[in-house]
Structure 1
Amino acid sequence: MSEIEVVRLGEKMLTESKVNDIQTWISAAMINQETCLDGLEEMGSTAVDEVKGVFE
């Protein structure tokens, strides 16, 4: 798909570049979530289960 082609999302039109940006942002958010949980577990935090519940 070229930059001038679009992906239909409801009534909104997104370029391939915008779709790729959204995929990158979602991936980064998921990795940050995992990193946060890993850090809490390494510190022995008592909030790990509570935070996991929020993320689910």
Structure 2
Amino acid sequence: MDNEINLDKLLKQVEQADLMQLMNAASYEEDEDKKKVLEALFTYALDKRQEKIINEKDFVR
């Protein structure tokens, strides 16, 4: 249960993170495994922001 709470906290922080900062961190990371994690976090944050915009009442599809 504690791990789930910690993961939720982490993901909330990622959602609020600066997208450019995440992308830059991924771009300049030399360790391939860390780079993949940073890219995944960037994608997650971007997806959450897009989801929020798409779900707005005035969004036109």
Q: Which has the larger radius of gyration?
A: 1
Of Structure 1 and Structure 2, the greater strand share is in 1
Of Structure 1 and Structure 2, the greater helix share is in 2
What TM-score do you get using the length of structure 1 for normalisation? 0.48
What TM-score do you get using the length of structure 2 for normalisation? 0.44
Greater RCO, CA 8 A, separation 6+: 2
